[in-house]
Amino acid sequence: KSLSEDWVRNVKKLKSGVGNKMDCDTLLVASSPRFNVYNNDFGWGKPIAVQGGPGNSFSGKLALFRGIEEGSIDVQTTLWSDVLMKLLADMEFLEHVTTE
């Protein structure tokens, strides 16, 4: 209980602590496979993609989402521009990437 009360009082402190930990080699796994986002319609039509927001982005972040087509996976990553340029120049990597 005291941890949750402290978190409510010190959200900025907690966020900076999490951000600092994300600067090192960290693997964070989170998912909600039972939340079928593609069947939701908030009045704008059904979603065509799922993306994470910029609030928790850091270089090296890799997020996997269930794709809109059965059995597909959407990948979202946050990378420094020099890392991205190296990936785009890697022909072996590009053989496994689709841009559709």
Give the residue numbers annotated as catalytic, written as ranges.
41
Would you state the pLDDT for residue 90? 92
For 30, the domain range is 2-94
Detail the DSSP E strand segments found in 1-100: 61-66, 73-78
Domain count, the chain: 1
Task: Note whether residue 7 is domain-resident.
Answer: yes
The SS3 call for residue 23 is coil
Task: Note whether residue 100 is domain-resident.
Answer: no
pTM: 0.51
Task: Note whether residue 15 is domain-resident.
Answer: yes
Q: pLDDT tens-digit profile of 72-100?
A: 888 888 888 888 899 889 999 888 887 66
Q: Determine the longest span between alpha carbons in the chain, in angstroms.
A: 52
Q: What is the DSSP letter of 61?
A: E
Task: Note whether residue 11 is domain-resident.
Answer: yes
Task: Note whether residue 10 is domain-resident.
Answer: yes
Question: Torsions phi, psi of 63, nearest 5?
Answer: -120, 135
Task: Note whether residue 62 is domain-resident.
Answer: yes
Q: pLDDT tens-digit profile of 2-47?
A: 655 665 566 555 444 444 445 555 666 666 666 777 888 889 888 8
Would you state the pLDDT for residue 18? 47
